[in-house]
């Protein structure tokens, strides 16, 4: 809650010296933030990275957990935990998109979802990098075409995602180079 208060995000954070790789970081952070024990996660893969608004590289780690998992949020880091069906990120009830220009000048679209969590009687706004990763994961796992436009070639999802990332990264590199 100290950083990005009020924003919806997946468990995660910066790597520490004790972490071997992104998977270790993800598992440690999930344990610290929501009480998910690392041995209860079947890690499947890492997705194509993204770059957050502070220009940090963010590598999503995907894993399976039991549907009986009950989160125990760390109140110093997490105010609410909720579940959204993956299908919502290809067929949402409340969706909008905004053009978004990164600090480096790269223009992309930002997905914005509003999810009504009836269990908690609350609405959550899911946008930015969290929405980006959720949409990509839903496209990969479900194999369905979304009811909205995406920046991907849906017939070549992984390679177009890699190309989008490389274009974003190149725009950052060019911006840094021009500031030297």
What is the SS3 assignment for 29-92? HHHHHHCCCHHHCEEEEECCCEECCCCCEECCEEEECCCCCCCCCCCCCCCCCCCCCHHHHCCC
Say whether both 73 and 86 belong to one domain: no
Query: Is 5 in a helix, a strand, or coil?
Result: coil
Look at residue 4 in the predicted model and tell me its pLDDT.
Answer: 61
Residue whose C-alpha is closest to residue 139's, from 149, 127, 129: 149
Both tokens of 180, joined, read: 């030297």
Q: Which residue is it, tokens 């893969």? A: 45
**Statement: the pTM of the whole predicted model exceeds 0.95:** no
Domain boundary among 81, 99, 127: 81
Same-domain check for residues 73 and 106: no
Clarify whether residues 172 and 87 are in a common domain: yes
Residue-level pLDDT, tens digit, the chain, 180 residues = 456 667 899 999 999 999 999 999 999 999 999 999 999 999 999 999 998 888 889 999 999 999 999 999 999 999 999 999 999 999 999 999 988 887 767 777 899 999 999 988 999 999 999 999 999 999 999 999 999 999 899 999 999 999 989 988 888 777 666 665
Is the domain of 45 the same as that of 86?
no
- Does 128 lie in the same domain as 77? no
- Check whether residue 166 and residue 101 sit in a common domain: yes
- The Cα 135–Cα 139 span in angstroms is 6
| The predicted structure's pLDDT at residue 1 | 45
Is the same domain home to 102 and 75?
Answer: no
* The pLDDT value given to residue 120: 84
Please indicate, yes or no, whether residues 76 and 118 belong to a single structural domain of this protein.
no
Q: Both 21 and 97 in a single domain?
A: no
Contact between 111 and 142 (Cβ < 8 Å): no
Same domain flag for 125 and 157: yes
Range of the domain at 150: 82-179
pLDDT at 172 (0 to 100): 78
Measured CA to CA, the distance from residue 58 to residue 1 in angstroms comes to 18
* Cβ burial, residue 22 (10 Å; 0-12/13-18/19+): middle
Q: How many domains does the chain have?
A: 2
Q: Could you tell me if 67 and 111 lie in one domain?
A: no
Same domain (yes/no): 1, 74:
yes
């Amino acid at each position: 809650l100290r950083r990005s208060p009020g924003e919806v995000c997946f468990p995660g954070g910066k790597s520490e010296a004790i972490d071997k790789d992104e998977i270790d970081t993800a598992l440690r952070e999930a344990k610290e933030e929501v009480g998910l024990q690392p041995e209860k996660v079947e890690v499947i893969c890492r997705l194509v990275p993204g770059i957050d608004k502070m220009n940090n590289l963010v590598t999503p780690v995907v894993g399976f957990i039991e549907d009986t998992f009950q989160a125990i949020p760390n109140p110093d880091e997490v105010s609410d935990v909720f579940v959204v069906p993956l299908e919502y990120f290809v067929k949402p009830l409340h969706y909008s998109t905004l053009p978004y220009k990164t600090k480096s000048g790269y223009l992309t679209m930002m997905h914005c979802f509003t999810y009504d969590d009836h269990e908690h009687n609350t609405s959550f706004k899911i946008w930015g990098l969290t929405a980006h990763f959720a949409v990509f994961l839903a496209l990969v796992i479900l194999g369905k075409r979304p009811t909205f436009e995406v920046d991907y070639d849906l017939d070549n999802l992984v390679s177009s995602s890699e190309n989008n990332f490389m274009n974003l990264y190149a725009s950052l590199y060019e911006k840094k180079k021009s500031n030297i």
